Amino acid sequence: MDIKLPKGTKDIFLAEAEAYEQVESALINVAKLFSYAAIRTPIFEHTELFTRSVGDSSDIVRKEMYTFTDKGDRSLSLRPEMTAGVIRSIVENKLDVTADLPIKLYYVGPAFRYERPQLGRYRQFHQFGVENIGISSPYSVAETISLGVTAFTVMGFKQVTVKLNSLGDASTRDAYRTALKSFYEPHLPNLCPDCRQRFQINPLRMLDCKVPADQTLAKKAPHITAFLSKESQSYYAQVKTALKELNVAYTEDPQLVRGLDYYADCVFEFHMLSDKGLNYGALGAGGQYNNLVKELGGQPLKSVGFAFGLERLMAVLADSGRLDNVKPFTDIYIISMMPETDLYALKLSHNFRHSNFKTELNLEHKSMKASIKSALKKDAIYAVIIGDQEMKVNQVTIKNLQTQEQQLVPVNEVVHLMQHLTNQPGHHHHDEEAPDHGHKE
């Protein structure tokens, strides 16, 4: 049998898997700095959850969902995004009634969309995101945007900017939909089939069309900011004021609408220029959703959130050289030279691991040269060598693989000595913060 990967998926292993873990860890640490807690929801839900929350006019629902009927004749769908499941969980577990507000949650996990595979985009992909549910202040929106910018900064990105727009309140969108229909109606025969459908369901989605001719026309469409109610204008102004106070760079984009029907008020995208001046486009996006909790049976809570697509983020990190030195590493590589020393080496590896050292145990009994070569491939700094002579005197040989210095050490002192040599008792000698090893301003 010659079974291969399904189209639009990929295996992630070795150095790339290590890079994913480091990026995810960095993102999670930032979310925790902002006092967010973790949530994990199922990768499939009842299809109605997504048709109700994401919206019938979105490409996700109309074209991209993996939907199937299970053995109980229920329609289920693999999640195309994570927000709907998070809100369903909050309502089902009555957190909207019992928890202190706001409810601040982060998630990391796979999502699924049947779309054309391209750079950084797969049919199974991974998202990191946050949801801030039950907010009352426009400053909470600015704080959430600031979290996203902080995450990019931690990963070493310097030129991050936020594209910002307001979709206003319900009265704003009603007035704007009417204006858009008047603008587009004379052009309907020349629009793509999708836009002709969107005209009937949700004309705001026409602004997000990817067909070049329709994009050109969209640039001439009226801007929603001209239809903002006084309340929406004031709210939007406070968000912008707060972003300035937080030194978050932003540009206003009156055509930014985002691809999901539940958005309201502020929507935003995170954009980045590479060190070489390349524009990678949106690396993450989000916005406010003020009715979603209520529509799914909960309280009328205003909320805001965003998500990053990790595959796209990883592609940009790799392109900028920030993953060049990322690979799985080993603190200590134990070499047992003969079968008689294997149990001795096994016990020592147990002691090292319980002292928080990443330890590789080599029981292959290869030559010293071959064993050291294997240790270097594992990015180990120290090799611990156990042969017949060492076992007889209850000692081990420690070899620094960078300096080639080595010494005989009593076995009952070796863990303490290794903690001393690495300068941080109980910790690793490698920086595990982020792919580029540390924070950059």
- Looking at the predicted structure, is the pLDDT value of residue 413 above 90? yes
The kind and range of the H/E element at 369 are helix 368-377
- Give the pairing of strands 279-289 and 75-78: unpaired
Query: Mean of the pLDDT values across residues 99-103?
Result: 97
Shared domain for 129 and 88, answered yes or no, is yes
206 is a domain residue: no
pLDDT confidence band for 260 (50 / 70 / 90): low
Shared domain for 130 and 31, answered yes or no, is yes
**So what's the pLDDT on residue 430?**
46
Mark which of 255, 286, 319 sits at the end of a domain.
319
Shared domain for 253 and 359, answered yes or no, is no
Secondary structure letter of residue 203 according to DSSP: G
89 is a domain residue: yes
426 is a domain residue: no
Shared domain for 287 and 362, answered yes or no, is no
Shared domain for 45 and 87, answered yes or no, is yes
- Looking at the predicted structure, is the pLDDT value of residue 33 above 60? yes
pLDDT confidence band for 440 (50 / 70 / 90): very low
375 is a domain residue: yes
pLDDT confidence band for 428 (50 / 70 / 90): very low
pLDDT confidence band for 57 (50 / 70 / 90): low
217 is a domain residue: no
**So what's the pLDDT on residue 55?**
64
- Looking at the predicted structure, is the pLDDT value of residue 437 above 60? no
Shared domain for 153 and 285, answered yes or no, is yes
* Better-scored residue on pLDDT, 56 or 74: 74
Q: What's the pLDDT tens digit per position in 319-340? A: 888 887 777 788 999 999 999 9
Q: What's the pLDDT tens digit per position in 184-217? A: 999 999 999 989 988 988 888 888 888 888 889 9
Domain count, the chain: 2
Query: Mean of the pLDDT values across residues 6-15?
Result: 93
Shared domain for 293 and 356, answered yes or no, is no
31 is a domain residue: yes
Query: Mean of the pLDDT values across residues 230-248?
Result: 96
**So what's the pLDDT on residue 205?**
80
Burial 12-42 (b: 16+ CB within 10 A, else e): eeeebebbbebbeebbbebbeebebeebebe
Give the span between the Cα atoms of 441 and 140, in whole angstroms: 23
Instruction: Match 């209850």 to its residue by tokens.
Output: 394
What is the rounded average pLDDT for all residues in the chain? 89
Query: Mean of the pLDDT values across residues 343-357?
Result: 94
**So what's the pLDDT on residue 120?**
61
3-state secondary structure 18-57: HHHHHHHHHHHHHHHHCCCEECCCCCEEEHHHHHHHCCCC
Shared domain for 235 and 369, answered yes or no, is no
The kind and range of the H/E element at 286 are strand 279-289
Q: Which domain holds residue 45?
A: 14-169+229-319
Q: What's the pLDDT tens digit per position in 133-146? A: 999 899 999 999 99
182 is a domain residue: no
The domain that contains 36 carries what CATH number?
3.30.930.10
- Looking at the predicted structure, is the pLDDT value of residue 279 above 50? yes
Q: Name the least confident of 7-11, 167-171, 207-211, 356-360.
A: 207-211
pLDDT confidence band for 281 (50 / 70 / 90): confident
Cβ neighbours of residue 250 under 8 Å, at least 6 residues apart? Answer: 145, 161, 162, 163, 164, 240, 243, 268
Shared domain for 157 and 279, answered yes or no, is yes
The domain that contains 388 carries what CATH number?
3.40.50.800
Smallest CA-to-CA distance from 261 within 306, 201, 308, 305 is with 201
pLDDT confidence band for 7 (50 / 70 / 90): very high
Mark which of 274, 296, 319 sits at the end of a domain.
319
Under 8 Å between Cβ of 147 and 162: no
**So what's the pLDDT on residue 387?**
94
Shared domain for 377 and 252, answered yes or no, is no
- Looking at the predicted structure, is the pLDDT value of residue 429 above 50? no
**So what's the pLDDT on residue 54?**
73
**So what's the pLDDT on residue 208?**
80
**So what's the pLDDT on residue 432?**
40
Shared domain for 358 and 310, answered yes or no, is no
Mark which of 289, 319, 349 sits at the end of a domain.
319
- Cα dihedral value 334, 337, 342, 346, nearest 10: -10
**So what's the pLDDT on residue 116?**
78
pLDDT confidence band for 435 (50 / 70 / 90): very low
Give the span between the Cα atoms of 111 and 82, in whole angstroms: 7
- Looking at the predicted structure, is the pLDDT value of residue 296 above 60? yes
**So what's the pLDDT on residue 427?**
46
441 is a domain residue: no
Shared domain for 400 and 283, answered yes or no, is no
